[in-house]
């Protein structure tokens, strides 16, 4: 992709910098606060796409729209950009949160320098950093903030996918959109632990204070000596912090038309690892949503299998790799920057060349000169090759995943009340 660009600066506020593709986002209650905006002009004379090719069609027979919330910390800018390219599809929406000022500016400039991101205007970078402790309530606040922004950015998306910079997809977006086309749009993919019960209650009973909620820089948690009594107004559930949530349930958590989401948010403000508890507990205690669960976050972890104690990547273990790509997981975690496994996934699974988005039906392409056929690149700067974003072309992994979803639906497992079965 071309990195050429020119820019001008308009607007000013000394404490805030906001940069996005098509939309500048501000933390806080008002999105109209002054900001420093970067406007880019494309050196390659960007072709204006018809509205029918830029706005996703909705309705029966149309693929869904996914909203990706991608978060990172200092040192994660390159990984976040790579994850963005690996998950990119012009139907979707993308929100990037990075808690490092300088790197966030560089990330936003990298996003703005890509012709394809500017053309579709669906990639957004949160414009101001704030302290986040991944073990405390500040992480939950950050996740809910991203959800609130995504709800405001676009009315079109069906599910929000929560990822971190260490995650990576195991299927192309055309495959994922095809498989999700067969599902009711109100389902929530959320993994429950087998120990849901006393262990989760013990975790919730311990009183924790997260100073990152009120300090500019991330701070360690404070642990109280005393514990509190177990709640009897609701039951605590827990599991994986990585979730795929329906738009309806996301809206309920952000705007809660009854008191449950707010009450639980106040309760989990003083809990260790609330991201492993909050959405699970809200979902399972809500009469409206408790029967919309799929007890699977569609992800898997290979952090132990793939990395040594020194943090250096191990040599590829083909048996582990084969198990990873042959399963039904669509995301894997947690990878370190430069892990050679990512390049293998790019070449063999995503067919993505370095610094290129994943090709699909929307982007017709051919082999790049001097490259192997499996390392095809999408010619994102050649606008004449861009196609209809409402058309998808699934591969074998998409067909396999769709078959799995279909079998789960026929067996009644998609709407089983997993909250009461754990």
Least confident of 154-163, 177-186, 360-369: 360-369
Comparing CA positions, the residue from 287, 275, 254, 257 lying closest to residue 208 is: 275
Are 98 and 25 in contact by the 8 Å Cβ rule? The answer is no
Quote the CA–CA distance of 381 and 258 in Å, as a whole number: 48
pLDDT of residue 329: 87
Are 239 and 280 in contact by the 8 Å Cβ rule? The answer is yes
pLDDT of residue 295: 80
Least confident of 25-34, 143-152, 208-217: 25-34
Quote the CA–CA distance of 333 and 165 in Å, as a whole number: 9
Quote the CA–CA distance of 412 and 418 in Å, as a whole number: 12
Instruction: Give the torsion sign (CA, 356, 358, 362, 367).
Output: positive
**What is the pLDDT confidence band of residue 204, given thresholds at 50, 70 and 90?**
confident
Element (H, E) at 258: none
Tell me: the pLDDT tens digits for 64-92? 999 999 999 989 999 999 999 999 999 99
Mean pLDDT of the chain: 78
Element (H, E) at 199: helix 198-205
Are 8 and 36 in contact by the 8 Å Cβ rule? The answer is no
- Strands 188-192 and 293-294, bridge-based pairing: parallel
What's the average model confidence in pLDDT over 291-311? 65
pLDDT of residue 297: 82
């Amino acid at each position: 992709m071309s990195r050429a660009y020119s820019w001008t600066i308009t607007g000013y506020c000394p404490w805030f910098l906001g940069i996005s593709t098509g939309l500048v986002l501000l933390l806080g209650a008002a999105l109209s606060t002054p900001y420093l905006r970067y406007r880019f002009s494309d050196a390659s004379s960007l072709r204006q796409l018809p509205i029918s090719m830029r706005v996703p069609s909705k309705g029966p027979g149309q693929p869904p729209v996914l909203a990706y919330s991608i978060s990172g910390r200092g040192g994660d800018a390159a990984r976040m950009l790579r994850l963005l390219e690996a998950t990119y599809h012009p139907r979707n929406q993308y929100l990037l949160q990075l808690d490092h000022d300088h790197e966030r500016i560089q990330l936003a400039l990298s996003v703005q320098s890509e012709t394809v991101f500017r053309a579709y205007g669906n990639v957004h970078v949160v414009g101001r950093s704030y302290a986040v402790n991944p073990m405390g309530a500040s992480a939950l606040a950050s996740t809910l903030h991203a959800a609130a922004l995504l709800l405001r950015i676009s009315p079109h998306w069906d599910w929000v996918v929560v990822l971190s910079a260490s995650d990576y997809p195991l299927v192309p977006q055309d495959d994922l959109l095809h498989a999700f086309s067969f599902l009711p749009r109100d389902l929530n993919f959320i993994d429950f632990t087998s120990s849901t019960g006393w262990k989760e209650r013990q975790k919730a009973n311990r009183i924790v204070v997260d100073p990152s909620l009120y300090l500019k820089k991330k701070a360690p948690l404070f642990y109280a000596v005393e514990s509190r009594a177990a709640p009897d107004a609701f039951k605590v559930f827990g599991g994986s912090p990585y979730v795929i949530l329906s738009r309806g349930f996301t809206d309920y958590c952000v705007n809660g038309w009854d008191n449950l989401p707010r009450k639980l948010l106040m309760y989990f403000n003083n809990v260790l690892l609330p991201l492993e508890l909050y959405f699970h507990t809200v979902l399972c205690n809500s009469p409206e949503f408790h029967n919309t669960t799929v007890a699977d976050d569609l992800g898997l972890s290979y952090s132990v299998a793939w990395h040594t104690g020194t943090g250096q990547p191990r040599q590829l273990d083909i048996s582990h790799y084969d198990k990873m790509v042959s399963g039904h997981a669509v995301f894997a975690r947690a990878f370190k920057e430069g892990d050679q496994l990512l390049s293998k996934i790019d070449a063999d699974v995503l067919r993505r060349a370095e610094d290129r988005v994943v090709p699909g039906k929307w982007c017709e392409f051919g082999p790049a000169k001097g490259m192997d056929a499996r390392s095809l690149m999408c010619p994102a700067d050649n606008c004449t090759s861009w196609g209809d974003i409402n058309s998808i072309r699934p591969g074998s992994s998409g067909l396999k995943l769709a078959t799995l979803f279909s079998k789960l639906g026929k067996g009644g497992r998609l709407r089983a009340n997993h909250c009461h079965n754990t």
